[in-house]
Structure 1
Amino acid sequence: MEVRCTALPEVKIITPRRIGDARGYFCESWNAARMAAAGLGLAFVQDNESLSPATGTLRGLHCQAPPFAQAKLVRVTRGAILDVAVDVRRGSPSFGRWVSAEISAENGAQILVPRGFLHGFVTRAPDTQVVYKVDNPYDAASDMGVLWNDADLGIDWGIAPEAVILSEKDRGLPAFRAWQSPFEFEAHP
C-alpha cells in the first residue's frame, strides 16, 4: 500500500498493492491494521455506492456537520472520476483551498477525505461506479454543502459548465461566502 499526501496534507491518496496474474488481480482495498500502522486509524461504519450512467455527472460539494461529520475513503470500481476536497476548517492555513485527484478503476487509487472538508466528484467515463467508506452514519439533518462552481473557490473540474449534470439539490446549494462552516481547525503539535 502506498500512501501519499496531496497539496493539502490531511487529504491522502492511498493506492493498494495489486497482485496480478493471468486471472486478473487481487488487492486489499482496506486493511484496518495496515492503515493504523500508517497513522490512519479510522473506524468505518458504513459503505456507500453510486452509479452515474453519464459522463459529466457531478456530485458535490457535500459534507455533514458535527457531530455527524464524516471522513470518507473513496474508490472507483468502474469508470473514472475527478475527485475534489476543499478545506473548510475555520482558522486553517489552507481554509478555502482545494485539491483534486483522478481516481479510476484502472489506477486503483483511493482518496481519503477527512472530516472538515467538502467533497465532490465529476465522472469522466460512462457508467462510473463509486464506492466509499465513511466513519459516521448518514444524517439527513446534518447534510450540507456549497455550490460546485463557486467563483471564490475557483475549482477546475476539467469540464465545461454547460456539460455538467447536477441534481436539483446540488443546484440549490449556497455560495461559499454565504455558507457558515461548522468546522474549526485544530492544530496538532
Structure 2
Amino acid sequence: MNDTELDSRHAEKMRKKKAARDKILATKTIEKGLVIVHTGKGKGKSTAAFGMVMRAIGHGFKVGVVQFIKGRIETGEKAVLDRFGDQVTIKRMGEGFTWETQDRQRDIAAARAAWEAAMAMISSGEHRMVLLDELNIVLRYDYLDVAEVVDFLKEKKPDDVHVIITGRNAKDELIEIADLVTEMTMIKHPFRSGVKPQQGIEF
C-alpha cells in the first residue's frame, strides 16, 4: 500500500471515528458542578488539581482553595495564584504533615477550622470551583467525620460548583458520591533514589 492509499484509508477511518464520537457526545446533555477526587500513591494529585484551577481561571471563573495540610512552606502554586487575587481566594490552614505537628488535638482543630472555611467557600455563591487540597489526609486520620463531609457535598453543595478533593487513601464513602475519581499510580519516584523534594516539582 502506497502513501496515497494509506492517507485515504486513514482519512476514512478518522471520518468514521468522528461520526461515532459525535453521536456519543450528542447524548451527553447534563451540565453540573462535579465532585472530583484525586487519590492514590502516585505523585500528581495536587498538581493535576491546580491544573484544573489554572484552566478555570483562564475561563474567567472565580476559584477558592483550602489547603488542609500544606501551609507552612511557600509553594510555587501560591506564588502564581496570588497574581490572580481578583479571581482566587486561598486559605492555607494546614500546619504541616501530622508527623511534624505530633499533636492530634491540634491537628483535629486545624482540620475543623479548614473544613468550616471550605463549607463557607463552597456555599458562598462566589466561587465556581473550590479545591480542598489534602482533605483525604485528614479524613484518613479521622480528624473529620467522613459522613459529615459526604452529607454536605451531597445535600448542600450548590449545583453549579465544582469541588476537587486531593490526597491519598480516599475514603470509600467519598469515592461513592464523587462524579470523577482518578487514582495516581506510582511507577517510579526519585525520592526512593535519594533525591530530595525540589522546588518546581514538589512545591
TM > 0.5 fold call: no
User: For the superposition of Structure 1 and Structure 2, which TM-score range results when normalised by the shorter chain?
Assistant: under 0.3
Question: As a proportion of its length, which structure holds more strand?
Answer: 1
The structure where helix makes up a greater share of residues is: 2
For CA contacts below 8 A with separation 6 or more, give which structure has more relative contact order.
2
Q: What's the TM-score once normalised by structure 2's chain length? A: 0.25
Which has the higher Rg, Structure 1 or Structure 2? 2
TM-score by length of 1: 0.27
